[in-house]
Homo-oligomer: A and B are copies of this chain.
Amino acid sequence: MALNYPNKKNTMTKTINKANLGMDLESMINESNEYYRVNDIAIIHKKPTPVQIVKVDYPMRSKAVITEAYYKIPSTTDYNGIYKGKYIDFEAKENHNKTSFPLANIHPHQVKHLLSIKKHGGIGFLIVAWSLYNEYYLLPLDILEKYWNDAYENDSRKSIPYKEFKDNCHLIKESYIPRLNFLKVVDELYFNDEKK
C-alpha cells in the first residue's frame, strides 16, 4: 500500500506548526494503522477505492494501462481488520460544517453493513473529523443508528448536531505518533466491562 509519508523536513515543519494541520483524515488514519501494524498492535487496512474498469490497453513491453474506469459506490466501509482478536470495521468522514454532521455523508448500505457487523459480534463505528475545529470523534454505532432511524423512518432531521458529538461521542486525541490514537478510545468503549 502506498502511504503518503511526509518527508522528514515536512514532518518537522508540521511538528513546529500546528500538529496535523493540512493533513487529511485518510492520511492520518493510514499512518496510525501503519504504526499499529508495525508495532503488532492491530492489523487494519484501508480498502482500495472501488473502481469499475471498462477499458484496458496492453502496450507492448510495458504494463497494462487502464484507460477508462469509473468510481463505484463502496458497498462496505473504508477500513477493516483485527484488533485484540476482534473484527473491527469503520468508516472515516471529514465534516466541514460548523454545527452539524449531515447524514448524507454516509451511504445507506454502509450503515446497514456496520449494523450487520455489530450483529455478528464485531466492532463498528465512524470516525468524524470536524475540520473547522480540528477535532476528531469516534461516533459509536448506537448513536448513528438512533439519528439514522429518526431521519429516515420518522422523517426527522437529517444530521447529527455538534452538541451530540461534544456530549456523547468520544474525542480522539491527536499525537505525533500515532497521529490519531483511535484504538485508545476503542479500548475504553469496547474492551472495558461496560461494553457498548
Contact = CB atoms under 8 A, between A and B. Distances in A.
Interface of A: 1-2, 37, 40, 42-43, 45, 47-53, 63-72, 74-76, 80-87, 89, 113, 116-117, 119-122
A41 to B, nearest CB: 9
Given A66-B70, A71-B66, A82-B117, A51 B52 contact: no
Given A2-B72, A66-B66, A67-B68, 18 more contacts: A1-B50, A37-B116, A43-B116, A47-B48, A48-B72, A49-B51, A49-B53, A51-B51, A51-B66, A65-B69, A66-B69, A67-B67, A82-B87, A82-B121, A82-B122, A84-B120, A84-B121, A87-B122
Copies in the complex: 2
Contact of A64 (B71, B82, B113, B116): B71
Contacts of A70: 63-66
A187 to B, nearest CB: 15
Nearest to A83: B120
Contact of A2 (B52, B65, B85, B116): B52
A129 to B, nearest CB: 22
Contacts of A116: 37, 40, 43
Contacts of A1: 50, 75
